[in-house]
Amino acid sequence: MKKVVILSGAGMSAESGISTFRDSGGLWEQYRVEDVASIEGYLRNPSLVIDFYNQRRRQLLTVEPCRGHYLVAELERHFDVTVVTQNIDNLHERAGSSKVIHLHGELMKATSTAHPNDPSQLVTLDAQHIDIHMGDKASDGSQLRPFIVWFGEPVPEIERAAEEVAEADIFVIIGTSLNVYPAAGLIQYTSPSAPVYLIDPKEVPWNSFHRFHHIRKGASEGMEELMRILTKDEA
């Protein structure tokens, strides 16, 4: 069974109604990135940052996976699929994808301020316990914080993601500007023999010598076209 690795970005979740950060009207126009998405911002004003992600979490409960999410999950009927996502929501999992690597953390989890990447400190949140409060403690006694990789912090899952991309027979990029590193650098790990498909309605800067097939559609329509291409090739 061929191995497909999918790198998904904000354009994927935007079709579900999740606010993006970089587009016009996105969250960066409402908040300063250094205030809510950097380790310095968190240490300076943890209550502001915790409340910001509480709001994001509540919004996540109001949306559903888009058609594109479901089609990514459906690919598992034909291929060995790994999703590498820059998104912090759980929409891929809710759509049925069984193997998801979250590069930038997971919105529905909390962790220790002192040891954020220690798996023993992770707490899974749910609809009944959706918010983190100042004074909520991790098991190591430090303040619980969102399990998010902020600017200024290492990306623990990038090596595992690079290994998956290196083994891919087919690499698919959906809804990402390829501006955010180290995720944008994953294309460099692709095998020269692996076809690359880019699904995005807009022009995307391409800094790789690897040729790619650009499907100029949104995530859902683009995935429908990709499904036709891949299942045709498989047949």
SS (H, E, C) 49-68: HHHHHHHHHHHHCCCCCCHH
Task: Report yes or no: 68 and 220 within 8 Å, Cβ to Cβ.
Answer: yes
CA dihedral 90, 100, 70, 193 (to 10 degrees): 150
With CA atoms as reference, report the closest residue to 87 among 108, 105, 60: 105
Catalytic residue from among 92, 104, 115, 213: 104
Rounded Cα distance between 91 and 2, Å, is: 24
Quote the CA–CA distance of 177 and 9 in Å, as a whole number: 8
- Mark whether 104 is an active-site residue: yes
- Contact at 8 Å (CB) between 187 and 173? yes
Residue positions annotated with a catalytic role: 104
